[in-house]
């Protein structure tokens, strides 16, 4: 077989595996019934913790499900069943809901702790492909993740089965998130260092230049003073305010180039006569991401920040926003 043929064969095998796993999820979705909605309601009404448990590959999937739930508004954690049997069951309370993952439903380490969970009074949700198993029969709710066969050619390595569990866990987590009315802003609070967190939590006041760094002149100032202010503050722009300190216009390096090209004598003019009136501005409550959207929409590089009285209090440059990773 040529190298090209080998590559094509590998690619086709990959497609087959992906299609097989996708089909398994599709079939599980078709079988989804009231047990699923009951499970979501039970998790949403949980007054304690949501505890996910499983052995081996199922345990790894369980860790991911716990992490997803924790990041979307639920107090969730992973408990290794072997550790649970050696004292860690102490973290389980009667107000908790324990989600147990096992393809066969006969995982020894997991089933060993089921009677103890029942004694504690915790509710149990089983995620398994075996409805007749000890786990399924001793759970309050059973979620069917049965598959026809693993993607492994020997039907041994957990592949399609763990994909099915992962997808079911995602479905639980997202439905639970919706039941709790978990918003984007809530998500940002649990992800403060992520890009979404920055987009939803950073306000323009957190990054704007202000006080002496703000380029600003009175409308009666000369163009000479205006140019000096604009260039000394290195923003390529200056706000122009009236006698009450309210914004009445803006002067940019683009305005200066146009004045020079016009051939007019302009150094003797006042800032108020050369400024551009009604510039784009934002308020102190504007989010940083919204500022970036405005800058990109109007193809400008900076925005003045004004208070409720339309007095300039800061300026933000597109480079400041890009540096944030927005």
Fold of 204-323: CBS-domain (3.10.580)
Alpha-carbon Rg for the chain in angstroms: 31
**Sheet containing strand 281-283, strands side by side:** 281-283, 302-306, 312-317
Burial zone of 236 (CB within 10 Å; 0-12 exposed, 13-18 middle, 19+ buried): middle
- pLDDT tens, residue by residue, 263-320: 888 888 999 999 999 999 999 988 888 888 899 999 999 999 999 999 999 999 988 8
pLDDT tens string 110-139: 999 999 999 999 999 999 999 999 999 999
Give yes or no for a contact between 68 and 50, defined as CB atoms under 8 angstroms apart: no
pTM: 0.68
User: Can you tell me which residue has the tokens 């302009």?
Assistant: 266
CATH 3.40.50.10490 fits 3-182, yes or no: yes
* Per-domain boundaries in the chain: 3-182, 204-323
Burial 117-134 (b: 16+ CB within 10 A, else e): beebebbbbbbbbbeebb
Band the pLDDT of 191: cuts 50, 70, 90. low
Q: How far is residue 220's CA from residue 264's CA, in Å, rounded to a whole number? A: 19
Pairing status of strand 237-241 against strand 247-252: antiparallel
Please state the rounded mean pLDDT for residues 70-97.
96
Cα separation, 247 vs 62, in Å, equals 57
Of 94-98, 145-149, 291-295, the range with the lowest mean pLDDT is: 291-295
Whether the CB-CB separation of 148 and 24 falls below 8 Å is answered with yes
pLDDT at 143 over 70: yes
Find the mean pLDDT for residues 72-90: 95
* pLDDT bracket for residue 102 (50, 70, 90): very high
Asked whether the predicted pLDDT for residue 162 surpasses 70, the reply is yes
H or E stretch at 13: helix 3-31
């Amino acid at each position: 077989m040529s190298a090209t043929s080998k590559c094509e064969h590998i690619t086709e095998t990959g497609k087959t595996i992906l299609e097989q796993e996708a089909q398994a999820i599709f079939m599980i979705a078709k079988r989804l019934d009231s047990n699923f909605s009951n499970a979501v309601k039970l998790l949403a009404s949980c007054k304690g913790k949501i505890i996910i448990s499983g052995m081996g590959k199922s345990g790894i999937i369980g860790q991911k499900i716990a992490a997803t739930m924790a990041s979307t508004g639920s107090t969730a954690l992973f408990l290794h069943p072997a550790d649970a049997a050696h004292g860690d069951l102490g973290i389980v309370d009667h107000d908790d809901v324990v989600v147990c993952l096992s393809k066969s439903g006969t995982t020894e380490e997991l089933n060993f702790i089921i009677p103890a969970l029942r004694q504690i009074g915790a509710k149990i949700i089983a995620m398994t492909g075996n409805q007749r198993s000890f786990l399924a029969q001793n759970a309050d709710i059973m979620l069917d993740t049965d598959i026809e066969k693993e993607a492994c050619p020997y039907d041994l390595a957990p592949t399609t089965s763990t994909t099915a569990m992962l997808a079911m866990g995602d479905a639980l987590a997202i439905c639970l998130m919706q039941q709790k009315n978990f918003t984007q802003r809530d998500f940002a609070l649990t992800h403060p260092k992520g890009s979404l967190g920055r987009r939803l939590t950073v306000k323009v006041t957190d990054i704007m230049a202000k006080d002496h760094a703000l380029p600003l002149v009175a409308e009666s100032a000369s163009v000479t003073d205006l140019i000096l202010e604009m260039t000394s503050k290195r923003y390529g722009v200056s706000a122009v305010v009236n006698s009450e300190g309210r914004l009445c216009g803006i002067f940019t390096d683009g305005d200066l180039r146009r004045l020079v090209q016009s051939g007019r004598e302009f150094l003797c003019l006042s800032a108020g006569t050369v400024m551009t009136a009604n510039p784009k501005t934002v308020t102190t409550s504007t989010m940083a991401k919204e500022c970036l959207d405005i800058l990109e929409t109007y193809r400008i590089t900076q925005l003045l920040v004004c208070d409720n009285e339309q007095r300039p209090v800061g300026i933000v440059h597109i480079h400041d926003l890009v540096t944030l990773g927005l």
